[in-house]
Chain A
Amino acid sequence: GAVVSQHPSRVICKSGTSVKIECRSLDFQATTMFWYRQFPKQSLMLMATSNEGSKATYEQGVEKDKFLINHASLTLSTLTVTSAHPEDSSFYICSASGHPSSTGGLNTEAFFGQGTRLTVV
């Protein structure tokens, strides 16, 4: 099946620093990538939708200057948490969507990256 790789899986950073999370589609071209955030014991909440070569679309309440998303190629999207604060500590997950012909017909919305657990101290 389609593979989405997310890195790092775990990161601890100091308050005020920035952290970059990468999401790669390994065997298909991802025209759209989605970034989710999950707090403990809660479901996934969509943060933003990222289309290759254009600006990301952020959900209401998500600060675009704080959560910078770049989707410069068809296989890579990055989420940068800028000036991180302890309240940004969370589990961040990406998923990717590709054109059916490039994924062997698989519906790639079904596959997620491994997730990144961010702890800001």
Chain B
Amino acid sequence: EDKVVQSPLSLVVHEGDTVTLNCSYEVTNFRSLLWYKQEKKAPTFLFMLTSSGIEKKSGRLSSILDKKELFSILNITATQTGDSAVYLCAVLANQAGTALIFGKGTTLSVSS
């Protein structure tokens, strides 16, 4: 059975800290891995990773995929209170038109 596992499930840090969120997966016919940020509405797309070892960056956020070890990390540096959210990892497998398989998410709380 395909599955996506995120850790930790929740995390509390102080502003300015750096955090690393983990996502491991076991899926058949992996295509890509996606990270989303979800506040009180629909998820917002952050990154899509398809190739191993290539870091994607957007401001203070970065992510990388290891297809050999079947995991990805999402890094957030110099965290701000606005980073508080649920971060979802999802994997796209099989052929086009297949739904994403989501992890349970990591709830990040950044205190000032």
Contacts and interface: CB of A to CB of B under 8 A. Distances in A.
A114 B41 contact: yes
Chain A interface size band reads: 20 to 34
Contact of A112 (B43, B48, B97): B43
B97 A51 contact: yes
Given A32-B97, A51-B97, A97-B97, A111 B104 contact: no
Categorize the interface residue count of chain B.
Answer: 10 to 19
Given A112-B43, A115-B41, A95 B104 contact: no
A34 B99 contact: yes
Contacts of B43: 44, 93, 112
A41 to B, nearest CB: 8
Main secondary structure of the interface of B (DSSP, over half): loop
Given A32-B97, A42-B104, A110 B34 contact: yes
A46 B99 contact: yes
A109 B104 CA distance: 18
A31 interface: yes
B42 A93 contact: yes
Nearest to A45: B102
Contacts of B105: 43
Interface of B: 32, 34, 41-43, 45, 48, 88, 92, 96-100, 102-105, 107
7 contacts: A32-B97, A43-B105, A44-B88, A44-B100, A46-B99, A49-B99, A109-B34
